Amino acid sequence: QVQLVESGGGLVQAGGSLRLSCAASGRTFSSYAMGWFRQAPGKEREFVAAISWGGSTHYADSVKGRFTISRDNAKNTVYLQMYSLKPEDTAVYYCAAAYTILVLTTKHQYDYWGQGTQVTVSS
């Protein structure tokens, strides 16, 4: 069982930056693939970024070049550094985990989810 707790959300102006953190419980964090998803009001939850246990990454086209996912296995934490934020990035951001060596980009592939953290980008 893995418990995930996101933090770092908030209100930021367009063009600004934020760093989200996701702290995971459990002693086998390094064996989990991690992902970030987001959900805007009235929309489906969508993939943002993912990182494998080995450090391979994958990004949605909409955030490529602006967002960076990373992990610190010693701290059981995965991060999402967001730069050049746009109003369309406004959403609740969720952290997810799955016990696999793969990089996962589909929400149905993940087994564990955090409660989410709100990111609001004003124009």
pLDDT of amino acid 17: 98
pLDDT of amino acid 97: 96
d(CA 46, CA 17): 20
- Report residue 30's pLDDT band, with 50, 70 and 90 as the boundaries: confident
- Cβ–Cβ < 8 Å for 83, 18: no
Q: How many residues does the chain have?
A: 123
d(CA 85, CA 51): 21
Nearest residue to 51 (alpha-carbon basis) of 6, 116, 96: 96
Q: Which amino acid is at 72?
A: D
Encoding tokens for residue 81?
């550094």
* 116, pLDDT greater than 80: yes
φ and ψ at 100, to 5 degrees?
-160, 160
